[in-house]
Amino acid sequence: MTTATVSTHDDHHDHGHPSGIKRWLFTTNHKDIGTMYMIFALIMFLVGGMMIMGVRAELFQPGMQLMKPEFFNQLIGVHALIMIFAALMPVATGMANWLIPMMIGAPDMALPRLNNWSFWLLPPAATLLVMPFILALFGVGTGAVATGWTLYAPLSVQGGMGVDFAIFSIHLLGISSILASINVVVTILNMRAPGMTMMKMPLFVWAWLITAFLLIATIPVLAGAVTMLLTDRHFDTHFFDAAGGGDPILFQHLFWFFGHPEVYILLLPIWGFMPHILSAFARKPIYGHKAQVYSFWAIGIMSVIVWAHHFFTVGMPIPALLYFMYSTMAISLPLAVLFFCWIATIWRGSMTFETPMLFALGFVILFGIGGLTGLVLADVAADAQYHHSYFVVAHFHYTLFAGGIMGAMAGVYFWLPKFTGHMYDEKLGKTHFWLTAISFNLTFIPQFFLGLAGMPRRIPDYALQFTEFNMISSLGAFALGLSQLLFVYIIIKCARGGEKASDRVWEGAKGLEFTLPSPPPYHSFTTQPVVK
């Protein structure tokens, strides 16, 4: 190809890349890897979704109809692990692979071979996670991990071999995300086009930079915690075993030291999408670019000092309760700054409501509900009542499904024409949005009320007075699940063909990625653009 002044990858990729399976197995191209991440995420999203359909079917009526409680618990735990580690995180990493080089004017990611590794660790990790289900079918073991995604000791110390599989799976997933994060940081710090100063960087890139730092800082703590779990289980250590002088609560501290930053790891990339999308469809510049960067930093830093709000009820001293309550509530301040900037960006804009915009606006409203109910839970006195109830389940689905998945869908619809070179079917996209938004609320609004009325989470059976709301919730969930098949169809259709997308794709779109053709060339910027 042309004078590849900043090319860091092996030359042979420049003339005729391998085709067929080898192209995907050995690829070091950021777009190929990004695509694989996203296809993987979509498949796992459907797998995790199917599991929870089983759960909602069981909860359709009180009493035990379809499955044993152990199996129910396994479905819940594996659903959560898959959605978090194998759906939401990979889709964010896939988008990072596609977008970061294009947005900062680089030819590729800084460490292409590492990139290939980060992706190819994922399929074995996912396999390890679900393998115990399959082994159990053949009478080996007792099935997958049944502790919920939090893996609390002592339950996880006593659990069957599903726990060991989950531990090894988490190790692989962790290595994968650390490698990906290293790559992201190096790319952002070293590969920017001339003139692209840090403060000029697009917000998606900024959000990912902080995400990557958080991952590098907290994933190893989780890896350490599950390693201790493993040695407690098999090598006679007593980290979490009270009989041997350990302390099960220690596990909760270690887990949530990772776990709370993790919720921001999941959401930061999505918050990065929003200003791009909102400003494009409001045809106005992004409001508060700097304010959003500082908010990202504030949230990232504060996220590592609030973890114990997930177990207020274990019996902490009052001063500790107060500290964790106030620090948690303080995080909502920078978060409110973000909300303010999003709203100010579309304020009095000439808005149009294409699918990405619908998803983005849906995100702002529904994620707002997630954040506000989080404040309720952060109140120590209220949390004593709501902890481990369905209220918590509703809260974190407003943040993780509406905030995470729907936000990711906004991003996918927004950049998909750029990736594929074709417009997706707008009518089907809008239908997908409305089906998703309505059935999502149908599923989770009842869960708030169930929680307020005292229904505990992670229970396969319930008292009769909870029946109606559970039925509504289950029907909503089935509709929500089915609606996602439409999403798959829309994406396949768009990849196959459709109206040709222009370079700019959207009238109001800005950013370096929209100066490239749609679809962009195999190596994004072989000659770096100069940013003024």
Partner 1 sequence: MNGEELRQANKRLALKLGAGAVVALAFGFALVPLYNVLCEATGLNGKTNAERARPAAVKVDKSRWVTVQFTGTVMPGLSWAFYPKVASMRVHPGEITRVSYYAKNPTNQTIVGQAVPSITPGQAAQHFVKLDCFCFKQQALEPGAEKEMGLTFIISPELSKEVGTVTLSYAFFPAVKGS
230 binds, among partner 1, Cu ion, ligand HEM, none (CB under 5 to 8 A by kind): none
Q: By CB under 6 A, which span of 130-138, 153-161, 379-387, 426-434 interacts with ligand HEM?
A: 379-387
Place of tokens 């990339």: 269
Structure tokens at 201: 């960087």
* Cβ proximity to partner 1, 112 vs 429, nearer residue: 112
Binds partner 1 (CB under 8 A): choice among 64, 320, 333, 365: 320
Q: Does 238 bind partner 1 (CB under 8 A)?
A: yes
Tally Cβ neighbours within 10 Å of residue 365: 11
Which of 181, 187, 214, 203 has the alpha carbon at shortest distance from 109?
187
Neighbours of 77 (CB within 10 A): 26
Q: Which is nearer to partner 1, 66 or 175 (CB)?
A: 175
User: With binding defined as CB under 8 A, does residue 239 bind partner 1?
Assistant: yes
* Residue 395 binds Cu ion (CB under 5 A): no
Question: Considering only 87-95, 254-262, 441-449, 515-523, which stretch makes contact with Cu ion by CB under 5 A?
Answer: 254-262
Interface stretch with ligand HEM, choices 369-377, 423-431, 479-487, 498-506 (CB under 6 A): 369-377
Both tokens assigned to 405:
């998945």
Site for ligand HEM in 274-333 (CB under 6 A): 309-310, 328, 331-332
Residue 387 found at the interface with ligand HEM (CB under 6 A): yes
Query: Scanning residues 412 to 451, which ones bind partner 1 (CB under 8 A)?
Result: none
**Which residues on neighbouring strands pair with residue 456, listed in sequence order?**
389
79 binds ligand HEM (CB under 6 A): no
Q: Are 119 and 37 in contact (CB under 8 A)?
A: yes
DSSP state of 61: S
For residues 165 and 173, what is the distance between their CA atoms, to the nearest angstrom?
A: 12
Residue 506: left (phi > 0), alpha (psi -120 to 50), or beta? Answer: beta
Q: Any idea of the CA torsion for 308, 311, 312, 314, to the nearest 10 degrees?
A: -120
The answer to whether 357 and 277 are in contact (CB under 8 A) is: yes
Q: Is 201 in the site for partner 1 (CB under 8 A)?
A: no
Q: Is 351 exposed, middle or buried (0-12, 13-18, 19+ CB in 10 A)?
A: middle
315: partner contacted, choices Cu ion, partner 1, ligand HEM, none (Cβ within 5-8 A by kind): partner 1
Sequence-ordered alpha helix ranges (H) in 235-317: 248-282, 289-302
Give the residues lining the site for ligand HEM (CB under 6 A).
Answer: 150, 263, 266-267, 309-310, 328, 331-332, 335, 371, 374-375, 377-378, 383, 386-387, 392, 395-396, 399-400, 403-404
Give the residues lining the site for partner 1 (CB under 8 A).
Answer: 4-8, 110-111, 114, 158, 178, 181-183, 185-186, 189-191, 216-225, 228, 236, 238-239, 241-245, 247, 249-250, 253-254, 257, 315-318, 320
